[in-house]
């Protein structure tokens, strides 16, 4: 474990003290947990993005004689309801 000093404005410092106390955590533990969660989310996002970009592009199939659908057709929300 490492100690880190952070600087907060008065309002934020007051809020975090109360919030952490309600969670029965120290401010230090609370901030550490928040940062760990962000780090986990970031890693999951990066892993998912790499997996997505590693896939081969999907070829669109031509629709009958009409060609590709129009932008309006693709974004027609009424069809999804």
User: pLDDT, tens digit, for every residue of 12-64?
Assistant: 999 999 999 999 999 999 999 999 999 999 999 999 999 999 999 887 776 66
The pTM assigned to this predicted structure is: 0.64
- pLDDT at position 74: 81
Q: CA 14, 3, 33, 49: dihedral to nearest 10 degrees?
A: 120
- pLDDT at position 41: 97
Confidence of residue 77 (pLDDT cuts 50, 70, 90): confident
- pLDDT at position 57: 86
The two tokens of residue 33 are: 């947990």
């Amino acid at each position: 474990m490492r100690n880190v000093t952070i600087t907060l404005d008065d309002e934020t410092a007051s809020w975090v003290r109360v919030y952490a106390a309600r969670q029965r955590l120290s401010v230090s533990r609370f901030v550490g947990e928040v940062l760990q969660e962000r780090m986990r989310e970031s890693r999951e996002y990066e892993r998912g993005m790499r997996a997505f970009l590693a896939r081969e592009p999907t070829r669109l199939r031509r629709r009958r004689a009409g060609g590709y659908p129009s932008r309006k057709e693709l974004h027609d929300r009424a069809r999804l309801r």
